[in-house]
Chains A and B, each alone.
Chain A
């Protein structure tokens, strides 16, 4: 067992699945010779060849559109969109075709594709390299949206995504690409898509989060010194509300944390379902600690924007004090 970073865990998952299943092809900008701008696909072209790890022209719609064609033909393409900010041009292919092909053809054509996208802020990057657009895709029926918070979950979830018969957008929180290490088994294991994880148990309040924010939540929970239960959603859609419901029914209070802006963020969906499912158990209004409803600032101000441990802790304490 090795202590791996997120980058290493994803790299390992890709290697293992590509060795097992020759339908898996990687494609995207700079994924081949350069090993990806974050080195996530490092060494893969050398190992599997240029016809399985393909450097494509600079065209996001093209990357996703051809991947849809590859998938319709029965391969398992893994396109990479270099940064979440560049998903825009690919939105049409994702929502007009990838999400719809199965239902449009009543199953005659399907799109078993996994789109890998680095996501989120905190790396001092230029504009459009720090956003969190998971809500746009969670809102499109026919797409699955996944976001691990660490290396162990990333490997297990990615393998599940690669084997999923439907399109999965696999968001990789770039802030923690190298920042944490976890023990990651070399042996094959999967984590089911659609299952949240209780990171630590508690009795007084539930924190629900995903991605890099989970680490901030851990810091905040340690600092506030109360009995707080932390849930890492891991999958945005389909969301595991069963775990969240059981937790908030027990604690009666909830704080949801995400980097994406507040209005119409995934937190609103979680909060509404908590209201529906835990109505009689709630002792305080569900709180959301999120990015502000502004454009993500350039990096000098990005830490002011992102929900940090201090702001999360305040959210927890206010919710407990209600």
Chain B
């Protein structure tokens, strides 16, 4: 097998192992918390005891957690039931929404989250990298200072605060919608009207998320480009008489992108879990909102599902980053 193939196999193996650990950890993590999901899923302690018993049995909570030492099949436990269902692709039924499949809830929320995250990420990556490059190129000049100040400010600003400010300004001055994905119950004459409505709803949350990310991307990009600018080969390139554009395009950009790829991959992985605060401010029914509510409801199946998805997203994003690394810097895949 070629070095490249081995590299791929090794990385995939690590990814799978990580997931197996995460699945186990996820399961145990929620069960060491105090509280009784059969009751707290109901958010009300005055359930009649029959209902609590019936629910416990329904959720499988009457079984031992890891090992059945009380006789019978030692593997008849909550953990094996969870693994078995997971292997069949069944994430179970929510405790708090007792007639809803976890996979449906998460699927629905994931679509909404991607709907919000992807435009914001694209915007942030393009503008953040552009701004970072620009600032590095104009280092020390007023443009650099302005860009740097803007980025530091955005990076330091709590995102929910930024969201609320944008919401109040956007709604009161520009008549933008308060939140949600689309005008509920709206009748649209044409596809164009629908697109405008969706765009208006998307504008504020996307802007909030993008602004917060731009600051971070810009700062990393700037410092990474500056570092590369100090390298000897840049000096050589300049000495050869290349234009500034040529130096950046052919020599600096590719090397400066390495830390950016890591950063983008990491944020992308985590934002899949939902931009929790942005979702809360703009009533966006995404994964973040789902997870937050599941925590307060002790809704184990939803939490397990959401954390599994988060883990898969982070692992996949890292895997993608490693592969892109290999492409950007061929030394990585050979070593």
The answer to whether A and B come from one shared complex is: no
Point out residues on B near A: beta carbons under 8 Å: none
